Every structure is written in structure tokens, then in C-alpha cells.
Structure 1
């Protein structure tokens, strides 16, 4: 079969032949997203350690079983020995396979994937979002942020504010249902950003979803109501944030951390089914671009350098 192969950590992958191991359930891959976790694992610098090469990257994908059942699936590619989703076929542990509802568009479900799972769980089990609360989504133009804007609405938030960097991201957040959008700027200070956030809010801010950390997180803490919650699930702006003890104590604020790795497989499967159901019903979408396998190396580079216009999703079965 044809596959995308990582032959050396830290370099672009190549398209080449690969034998299917045949130790799990065979899935004919329809769509495989290039995600930040794929890029991190392939860099050889993740906390999982450098993966043995060559290997097929792809920690998740969408495809069909031999009987035609459409499924979403997860793999440990780049984290443990074995190949992933970026090939014409994947070997998958049966416990990592989730049947999809009728009408779920494969490429959209792949683009949503674990990013949408993280957004859902951050807002619900971790952030404890209640009906009628006001939510701030930092990084509202990213996949997690795009999903979070819509999910907060689905869960009954009365107002959703997004903070985004580019004009395209700001427009995207508005189109997905954000009531207000605040620009993020390269030269922001905590005080400057907090001053822009305050007039975008309508009453108390209850919950912040934060995949950025850094100055955006510190500014969000300045405008949270007493007892408000900030859920951090990433550090794409900075691995550290400049906030102080007085800010936390004076507002009795709660900072919570989230990662998908804490989910059990049944919890992940149930959340993925929920996400796919909303997508099939037209209630949940994100921006993505489908790419044939032959163009995967260029798509990989674009995703890694931040020049991709959207989440790049490979279509291994397309010729």
C-alpha cells in the first residue's frame, strides 16, 4: 500500500510503499488529519521519546471497515511502536474504533477529531459549564477554539466571546457564532489585552477556555469574575504565563488543566460519537482542506510552519 513515511525525525515525510502489519482490525482510510501531536511526535522531541523510524504518522483518522461501516479511530503512532492513519490502510486495535452515525462527512469528522473532543471535555467535565454562563475562548481561530465556540453555544452559554490573532481567524470566529471578537496582538501586554477584553463582555465572565497560555491567559484572569474558572489545554502562545498570587487569591480563581490522555477509551468514544452526531446534523464544523496523499509532504510542511490556511486532512484513498 502507499503511505506517508517519516524516515528521519525532524524532517519532512515522504510518500512510499509500506506493508500492512495485519495485527489488528483493517480500516480503509478515508481521511487523516495532520495534527499538532503528529508534528510533535515526528520531531523526536516529545515526552514520549523519539519514535523508531521509519513509521507512518497519524494519531487518528476516519475510514471504513471491510463490511463498509464508517468509523473514526485512534492510534499510538509516534508515541509507541506501530504505524498510524496516514496510509491507504491502517491496522487498528478494535478498542480504538468508534462507529460513526449516518451522514457524518468523513473529512469534517477527521478535522474535528480529538481537537473537538478536547474542547467538549474542557467545557464540560473539566470546566463545568452551566446553562446561561458567559464563556471566553482564547485562540478562537484554531480548531479547538472553533469547536469550543460552537460547543459552548450547544451547551447553553448565554454569550461567547472569542480572542483571535489574524483577521481571517476573527472573521471565522464571528461566522461560527461568537457574540464578540477581540484581536490578539504580538505586542500585547497583560493590561492592554485585559482592557480590550472588558468591553467585549456583558456581565460576569464565568469560564475561559485557554489553548494559548502566556499573556492571553494572564489577561483573561484579570477579567474573570470571583470564583471563575480558566481551563488550560495548551501553550501555543507561551509555556509560561505572567500572573501573580494576588490575582488568584483576590478573586478565588480556579485554574484547571486538561489533556485528552486522562480520558478512558469508553469516555473518548462516547465524546467522539457526540461530536460526530452534531457534525452530521450540521451543528458543528471547522475549517479544513482535503489533500491527496501525493501532496502530503507539502501539506505537512505547511502545517508545521503555520502557513496552512486550515487544518490539513489527507485523503489516502484518493488518486
Structure 2
């Protein structure tokens, strides 16, 4: 079969012949329909992640959507994090226990939402969102778009989105945020907010944290604006803020499956979406680092 293959860490994958996988104990072969290119895929294939340099050649793709015995499924893989191939091929291996069976829903949309939407959903849970509260969401990539919509679906009274670029702010408007501002204005727009969803860290997060109400919660799930943040001890102490960290890697298979099921149900109902584009698998090299068009989803 023709699959996307990373030959050398740091270089985009290219299309190459790869033998079809054979299921071992506890495994199934998935007929893949769609596989997204995610930041985790890029990080792992770049060879600079905390998982170490991946063994090459390998098929990337940490998640995908396809069918098993004719039933639609979402599935994860450990491609780039451990030896073995991932989802960017017509057929892929998955652990039976990791399969999440899906309702009647667009497989490309579920692939585009995937673990980004799971992270958005879980940070709202970890942050203890209560109906009627106000939520600040930093950034408006796949996580940010999902967090805006999910906050509303889970009962938030007001959602404030802050993003750097005009195009990202347009996405936030489409996602349904009540207030949308440039990152530098989040300190004013988010004044008195209850919960901060932060995939950026850095200066934007410090500014947003200063705007939280006393007893507010700040959930960090990324560092795309900086690995350190100039938040002061007095900011944390004077407001008795709760700073929480989140990673999908700590989810159990059951927790992840439950979150994916919620995401898929909302998607099937037309209540949750994310900007994305569909690209043939053959074009993987050309779109590997593409930005500005939403989440890229490879169609097999």
C-alpha cells in the first residue's frame, strides 16, 4: 500500500510503499478514511519531542478515523512516540481497547476535531466550569475553536476569546464567542472572568491571569507563546488563583473514549465544528507544514 513515511526526523514525510499491517494479539486493522496532521505529529516527526527521536522509517499519524468490520471508529496510535506505524495510510493497526465507535457523522470532521477537541473538553472539566460562569479562551486554533463552542454547550454564561491574528479572531467570531479581542487586550476584556483556558502560556497567559476574579481557575495545556510566563507570585496569592496543568497523555483509555464520544455526538448534531481542509494522502509532503487553512485532514 502507499503510505506517508517519515524517512528522516525533521523532514516532511513522503509517499512510499509500505507493507499492509497484520494484527497481533489485542489488535485490529482499521480501514482508514481520514487522518489529521496535528502539532503532535509535527513535534514527534521533528525528533525534538520529549518522547525522543523516533525510529525511522515510520508512518506518522497519532489518530485517525476509519472502519473496522464496516463500523465507523476513531482510534489513537503511538506513532512517533514509540516504535510502530500510525494512521497516515489506507490501513493501520490499533489496539482493540482503544477503538471508539462513532455515530453517523462525517469522518473528516471527527478527524479534524479529534484530540484537540478532547483537550478542550477536558480542560473545561478540569477547570470545573459551572453554568453561568465566564470563560476566557486564548488562541483560536483547533483547541481554541473547540473550547469556545464547548464552553457554550456546557453552560458558560459568557465566552471571551483572545487571539493574535485577524484571521484567528474571525474564527473565534464564527465559533460563537461573545467578545473577541487581540491578545494584548485580554486583560481588559477578561476582567472578572472565572476560568482561563490557556494553550499559549507566555505573556498572554500572565495578562489574562491578572484579569481573573479572586478564586479564578487557570488551566494550562500548552506553551505555544512561550515555555515560561511572567506571572508573579503576588498575582497568584492576592487572588487565591488555582493554576492547573493538563495533558491528554494522562487520560485513561476509558476517559479518552468517553470524551471522544461526547465530541462525536456534538459533531453529529451540528453543534461542534472546526476549520479544516481535506487533502489527498498523496499531497502529504506539500501540506505537512501548511498553516492558515485550518486543520489539514488527509483523505485515504
Does TM, normalized by the shorter one, top 0.5?
Answer: yes
What SS does the aligned partner of 1:301 have? coil
For residues 30-75 of structure 1, what are the alpha-carbon distances to aligned partners after superposition, in whole Å with 9 as ceiling and x for unaligned?
110000111111011111111110000000000011x210110000
For residues 223-270 of structure 1, what are the alpha-carbon distances to aligned partners after superposition, in whole Å with 9 as ceiling and x for unaligned?
000010100000001000011111111111111000001110011001
1:235 aligns with 2:219: no
How far did residue 171 of structure 1 move?
A: 1.1
How far did residue 280 of structure 1 move?
A: 0.3
How far did residue 301 of structure 1 move?
A: 2.7
Matches within 5 A, 1:255-294: 255-294=243-282
For residues 146-169 of structure 1, what are the alpha-carbon distances to aligned partners after superposition, in whole Å with 9 as ceiling and x for unaligned?
000000000000000000111111
Q: How many residues align?
A: 297
What CA distance in whole angstroms lies between the structure 2 residues aligned with 1:71 and 1:200? 40
RMSD, aligned α-carbons: 1.0
What CA distance in whole angstroms lies between the structure 1 residues aligned with 2:299 and 2:46? 23
The corresponding residue for 2:124 is 123
The corresponding residue for 1:133 is 133
**Structure 1 consecutive aligned stretches of length 4 or more whose deviation exceeds 3 Å:** none
How far did residue 198 of structure 1 move?
A: 4.7
The corresponding residue for 1:168 is 167
What CA distance in whole angstroms lies between the structure 2 residues aligned with 1:38 and 1:232? 20
What SS does the aligned partner of 2:7 have? coil
Match of 1:29 among 27, 32, 38: 32
The corresponding residue for 1:210 is 198
What CA distance in whole angstroms lies between the structure 1 residues aligned with 2:7 and 2:42? 14
| Structure 2 gaps, min length 5 | none
The corresponding residue for 2:83 is 81
What CA distance in whole angstroms lies between the structure 2 residues aligned with 1:281 and 1:83? 33
For residues 139-193 of structure 1, what are the alpha-carbon distances to aligned partners after superposition, in whole Å with 9 as ceiling and x for unaligned?
0x20000000000000000000000111111111111110010113xxxxxxxx3
What SS does the aligned partner of 1:162 have? strand
What CA distance in whole angstroms lies between the structure 2 residues aligned with 1:85 and 1:131? 37
What CA distance in whole angstroms lies between the structure 1 residues aligned with 2:174 and 2:59? 36
What SS does the aligned partner of 2:289 have? helix
How far did residue 199 of structure 1 move?
A: 4.3
How far did residue 197 of structure 1 move?
A: 2.6
The corresponding residue for 1:113 is 114
The corresponding residue for 2:141 is 142
Cα distance change, pair 37–287 in 1 and its aligned pair in 2 (3 A)? same
What CA distance in whole angstroms lies between the structure 2 residues aligned with 1:235 and 1:46? 13
Matches within 5 A, 1:176-255: 176-184=175-183, 193=184, 196-201=185-190, 204-255=192-243
1:314 aligns with 2:262: no
What CA distance in whole angstroms lies between the structure 1 residues aligned with 2:53 and 2:171? 36
Cα distance change, pair 198–50 in 1 and its aligned pair in 2 (3 A)? closer
CA contact 2:187–2:207 (8 Å) conserved in 1: no
